[in-house]
Amino acid sequence: MYRIALILGLLITPAVADENYTEDECATLAVMFNNCAKIPPKVLRVCGRAYNFTRAEAANYRALIDNHPSWKVDGECKGEGDRRACWPGPIMQGFLNLCQQVCDRSISLPEALGKYCQPKRPPS
């Protein structure tokens, strides 16, 4: 099981490692991962598909999407009108995969966040 989690982590890491996130964006990602940990899979068939944002957190999420276009759906949409369905791009899919692992408790919230944001180091 550990090997599978490690392999999945290595497969996801390149998709998220190319982005640099600000402290505010990291705080937004922490809220998103925290929601992944709180929402049990029995409530939603897939963890983390609903985010419980405050108004400020929702604005920060929109700013994250605006500042990092790679988080947006990348054109894989089919259908029209109400029947239009879109799939996440590789960056968002990487997040959703990590979110599922946080929900399943196969990876901790700090480990998942570490894929995007490096922990602060004390000044030397």
CA distances from 109 to 53, 54, 81, 105, 116 (A): 17, 20, 37, 9, 12
Q: Torsion over CA of 120, 19, 37 and 10, rounded to 10 degrees?
A: -100
The pLDDT, as a whole number, for residue 17 is 44
Which residue is associated with the tokens 């759906």? 73
Cα(36)–Cα(98) distance, integer angstroms: 9
Cβ atoms 71, 94 nearer than 8 A: no
What residues contact 26, with CB distance under 8 A and at least 6 apart? Answer: 113, 116, 117
Q: What is the model's pLDDT at position 111? A: 93
DSSP conformation class of 34: H
**pLDDT 10s digit of each residue in the chain, 124 long?**
444 443 444 344 434 446 789 999 999 999 888 888 776 655 555 555 556 678 888 888 889 888 887 887 665 666 666 556 677 778 888 888 888 888 888 999 999 999 999 876 666 6
pLDDT at 3: 46
Please state the pTM of the whole predicted model: 0.67
Do residues 99 and 29 lie in contact, with contact meaning Cβ atoms separated by under 8 Å?
no
Residue ranges per structural domain of the chain: 21-72+94-118
